[in-house]
Structure 1
Amino acid sequence: MAKFLWGSATAAYQCEGGWKEGGKGMSNWETFCHSEKNVVNPVTGDVASDHYHRYEEDIRMLSEGGQNAYRFSIAWTRIIPKGVGERSREGIEFYHRILDTCKKYKVEPLVTLYHYDLPQGLFEKGGWENRDTVQAYIEYAKVCFEEFGDKVKLWATVNEPNYETICCYGRGNYPPNVQDLSRRWKAMYHLLLASAGAVSAYKDMKGKGQIGIVSDSYSIEALKDTPEYKEAIYMADLFYNRCVNEVSVNGVYSQGFIDKLKSDGFDLSYMLEEDKETFIKGKVDYLGINAYDRTLVKPYSGGETVMTANNTGDGKTKNETIIKGWFALDEDPYTEKNAWGCELYPKAVYNLLMQLKEIYPHTPIIITENGLGYYDKLEDGCVHDEYRVEFLKSYLEWIKKAIDDGCDVRGYFVWSTMDLYSWINGYKKRYGLVYVDYDNDNNRIPKDSYYWYKQYILSEGEKFNAKIQ
């Protein structure tokens, strides 16, 4: 990467639509969204942003907005509809068209192989709790490397092993919709083993690009500086960050993390001795970081594990986390938050990046997601999202400071390229630089933030480039 990557990001199920087109198979998300379990915001991704039919318009607008990179994910079910077995030429050709369009508009693709959407057949057999899914994923990854390797120089194996498993097995708001941390740790282990296996396969296939993982990571902070609060910070760092980053970057699990799981009595028999070689061989070339907010913690003071999330934005459900024997989430009453309880605290990204620089000094970082969800309003054909402009600007100022202070950051992607389906949050929570008018043929309308981002890249972009020559 000779130049700093300035881009934005999407994920297949969140934007593509075309759920029954192109030979696509069913994923766990199609099944969930059409089931009686989908009750919080009962909508589907059947059409979503209709990117399946409008990808050229979206990539063209991205390029016209000054962006030189596009992060998107491939739907496993378009490549191998049943998750294993026959591949679909129609699905493969769809992504060839996307990649050719990126080239046409001089946009560097960063391709994520897995972003939450698991083939339904594999899901029904236990999903990531089943070790067979690991090998199925590696075989799928090999097909992608074989088919698209000459067009893709930046790969990401898995999106957010931490956050996905929190939602699947902690909060229980993503399929399989259960609350069981023992199942979380097992699923996460297999996700990370699959990631390492894909990295290893890419190297065996003499891949000519770079391959990393996308980790939602957090600056873990506390409102008090006491031994008890410091212990809570350490425990939360294990729970959210080191459980993913340590093995992905160093190829070895944090001993503190393993010791804690054992002391809690979790069955770790699925962690096999022969996997250690895979993890060592599967160390990432870069660490993708999805940076949104900090995690404020306090000491655990009693009670059972509780994890709830505000997915409605109406204030009826609070974000609450108590991890028995580990820590509890705290709240700063003086910081601004959006309707979903996300704290708007830009300095968190600087604190996080400097922590990562200290822990993993030789691993480049790409900010693979950063953005703000909001109730955007279309008024007189415009969206004046000055709140998003201020959010992005403040984050970029802190990222620039981290670069100036020696952190090796290679790129920055806004979440998201356009408005899209925000998983269990539905469609009202909008992140896009481009407004999608879902009521009027999914028309695209650039927001003020789209124009601001273009101007920022023009005026400030070279200051970031200078750091990575």
Structure 2
Amino acid sequence: MKTDFMWGSATAAYQCEGAWQEGGKGLSNWDAFCHSEKNVVNPVTADVSCDHYHRYEEDIEMLAAGGQNAYRFSIAWSRVIPDGIGAVSEEGVAFYNRVIDCCLAHGVTPLVTLYHYDLPQTLFERGGWENRETCKAFEAYAKVCFDRFGDRVRYWATVNEPNYETQCCYAVGNYPPNVQDLGRRWCAMYHILLGSAMVVRAFREGGYQGSIGLVSDSYSIETLVDNDEYREAAVNAELFYNRCVNDTCVLGKMPQEFVDKIVADGCNRDYALPGDDDIFRAGTVDYLGVNAYARYLVKPYTTGETCLKASNTGKKSDRQEAVVKNWFEIDRDDSMPTNDWDMELYPKSLYNLLIRLRELYPETFFIITENGIGYKDVLEEDGTVHDPYRIEFQKGFAEWMLEAMKEGVDVRGYFVWSTMDLYSWINGYAKRYGLVYIDYENGNKRIPKDSYYWYRDFIESQEV
């Protein structure tokens, strides 16, 4: 195996670290939400989760023993700057120094995400990403990270999934602040993207070494019918899910077609200020991180108000839905298999997506920053975990990625979501993504699944 391609797996701070009140850490919006009466779908917390804070060495050693040469993780903003702005916690800095040094000691390249859903509660209470001041605070926090960790980190990601986070926070309403208001959603997304651009600009102006990108959940937008109405629905869906984020961070400008449509919907864009265009142009990314899970099948809008619904219960009867008034509706192909959370299993979607991304952004390289499948894995009596469904899923996606690379798409890394089982946001703990099983009932014991060994052997067989 050549070592210039990153074969790894990924986690996020709130989902795996635990230690929510240790090491000088401040409160995050997810700490507050999970301890509130609004946490009703799967009312559990990530106070301990898989306790990565205390067991990161074991996890990184296991990752490396599985043939992985890269680890994507996020820094908890509230662990480094407990109040979001102001004083730096040296305990928090020391923790991430230990994690980074552990990676390097095991020949593992760290890819560090600065923000992955967990906003300091102090900033959240002031309006979160709806407040432009959060952008300035994010830039200041990022500079601390660049200064403290930049001598060893060569791959940075500013933010994780501006589209999906704001969709859940402000459209579905299942993430804090748990509202359904697309106008507020577009405001928050705008500021996340502006904050990202400010951080990229600071990275360049500071002369820091390495590459910096943004992680975007991106989807192959497809239809079951090929006619003008369906093609228009696909164009609208691509703007809604993909290009609103990807054009902005890669090309330095929000798509005018997108802006026109949200203004036509009645969105007041008074948050877009003179001078922002210069920030977006100065803050274009080196790479686009692609979180690839599924495609979106779409059809023309017919009737009804905008309504987006997620599947968070793990019950087959609980289905994802999306109607975006005057834009599109989600379609279904019931002949395609799905998991218990209504995610379609269609590995070729990654190939289709990469070909489209290359068409849109030919000068940019890509990293598959997440790809994985959630299931209710079972620990057998003999202490093993058999997950052939995960092996089939990962193998299909990885092979279609390699096919796209053969056709000239510049992909430089592939990360399985996730390194080990962890807290899956509103889905709780029943939805397991890990290559390593966490036995939460028995001291968080780590048990490699069949997919862990499959991935080790698959990596060893590759020539990229």
| TM-score bucket (shorter structure) | over 0.9
State the alpha-carbon separation in 1 of the partners of residues 3 and 342 from structure 2: 38
Aligned residues: 462
**Residue matched to 2:452:** 450
After TM superposition, give the deviation of residue 2 of structure 1 in Å. 7.3
After TM superposition, give the deviation of residue 317 of structure 1 in Å. 2.6
2:251–2:281: 8 Å Cα contact kept in structure 1? yes
1:175-208 deviations in whole A, cap 9, x for unaligned?
0000000000000000000000000000111011
**Residue matched to 2:256:** 255
**Residue matched to 1:100:** 101
**Residue matched to 1:210:** 211
1:352-381 deviations in whole A, cap 9, x for unaligned?
000001110010000000000001000020
State the alpha-carbon separation in 2 of the partners of residues 250 and 267 from structure 1: 24
**Residue matched to 1:312:** 313
2:15–2:424: 8 Å Cα contact kept in structure 1? yes
**Residue matched to 2:430:** 428
**Residue matched to 1:127:** 128
Q: How does 1:242-321 map to 2 (within 5 A)?
A: 242-321=243-322
2:162–2:192: 8 Å Cα contact kept in structure 1? yes
After TM superposition, give the deviation of residue 393 of structure 1 in Å. 0.4
State the alpha-carbon separation in 1 of the partners of residues 287 and 317 from structure 2: 39
**Residue matched to 1:338:** 339
Partner of 1:213, secondary structure, is strand
What letter matches 1:254 in structure 2?
Answer: P
State the alpha-carbon separation in 2 of the partners of residues 153 and 278 from structure 1: 23
**Residue matched to 2:351:** 350
Question: Which has the larger displacement, 267-276 or 25-34?
Answer: 267-276
After TM superposition, give the deviation of residue 264 of structure 1 in Å. 1.5
State the alpha-carbon separation in 1 of the partners of residues 7 and 344 from structure 2: 24
Question: Which has the larger displacement, 240-249 or 313-322?
Answer: 313-322
What letter matches 2:429 in structure 1?
Answer: Y
1:53-72 deviations in whole A, cap 9, x for unaligned?
00000000000000000000
Q: How does 1:37-116 map to 2 (within 5 A)?
A: 37-116=38-117
After TM superposition, give the deviation of residue 454 of structure 1 in Å. 0.3
2:72–2:112: 8 Å Cα contact kept in structure 1? yes
State the alpha-carbon separation in 2 of the partners of residues 163 and 94 from structure 1: 29
What letter matches 1:101 in structure 2?
Answer: C
Aligned residue among 412, 418, 421 for 1:419? 421
- Which portions of structure 1, spanning 4 or more consecutive aligned residues, are displaced by more than 3 angstroms? none
1:309-333 deviations in whole A, cap 9, x for unaligned?
1101113432111011111101101
State the alpha-carbon separation in 2 of the partners of residues 265 and 32 from structure 1: 30
2:83–2:122: 8 Å Cα contact kept in structure 1? yes
**Residue matched to 1:373:** 374
Cα RMSD, aligned residues only = 0.8
State the alpha-carbon separation in 1 of the partners of residues 411 and 182 from structure 2: 33
After TM superposition, give the deviation of residue 262 of structure 1 in Å. 1.6
Q: Please report the TM-score for the alignment, with normalisation by the length of structure 2.
A: 0.99
What letter matches 1:394 in structure 2?
Answer: G
What letter matches 1:152 in structure 2?
Answer: V
Aligned residue among 396, 400, 403 for 1:398? 400
**Residue matched to 2:227:** 226
Q: How does 1:138-153 map to 2 (within 5 A)?
A: 138-153=139-154
State the alpha-carbon separation in 1 of the partners of residues 28 and 184 from structure 2: 20
After TM superposition, give the deviation of residue 265 of structure 1 in Å. 1.7
1:407-442 deviations in whole A, cap 9, x for unaligned?
000000000000000000000000000000000000
State the alpha-carbon separation in 2 of the partners of residues 145 and 350 from structure 1: 34
State the alpha-carbon separation in 1 of the partners of residues 336 and 317 from structure 2: 20
**Residue matched to 1:240:** 241
What letter matches 1:437 in structure 2?
Answer: D
Structure 2 unmatched runs, 5+: none
- Seen in structure 2, the aligned counterparts of structure 1 residues 59 and 2 have a Cα distance that, compared at 3 Å, is closer
After TM superposition, give the deviation of residue 400 of structure 1 in Å. 0.6
**Residue matched to 2:179:** 178
State the alpha-carbon separation in 2 of the partners of residues 301 and 9 from structure 1: 39
State the alpha-carbon separation in 1 of the partners of residues 458 and 346 from structure 2: 20
State the alpha-carbon separation in 1 of the partners of residues 409 and 86 from structure 2: 43
How many percent identity over aligned positions? 64
State the alpha-carbon separation in 2 of the partners of residues 168 and 261 from structure 1: 18
State the alpha-carbon separation in 1 of the partners of residues 319 and 292 from structure 2: 21
1:288-309 deviations in whole A, cap 9, x for unaligned?
0000000010100010011111
After TM superposition, give the deviation of residue 30 of structure 1 in Å. 0.3
Q: Please report the TM-score for the alignment, with normalisation by the length of structure 1.
A: 0.98
State the alpha-carbon separation in 2 of the partners of residues 435 and 244 from structure 1: 33
**Residue matched to 1:360:** 361
2:3–2:69: 8 Å Cα contact kept in structure 1? no
State the alpha-carbon separation in 1 of the partners of residues 436 and 318 from structure 2: 29
State the alpha-carbon separation in 1 of the partners of residues 68 and 340 from structure 2: 29
State the alpha-carbon separation in 2 of the partners of residues 182 and 314 from structure 1: 31
Residue 328 in structure 1 maps to residue 329 in structure 2: yes
1:374-419 deviations in whole A, cap 9, x for unaligned?
0100002000100000000011110011001110000000000000
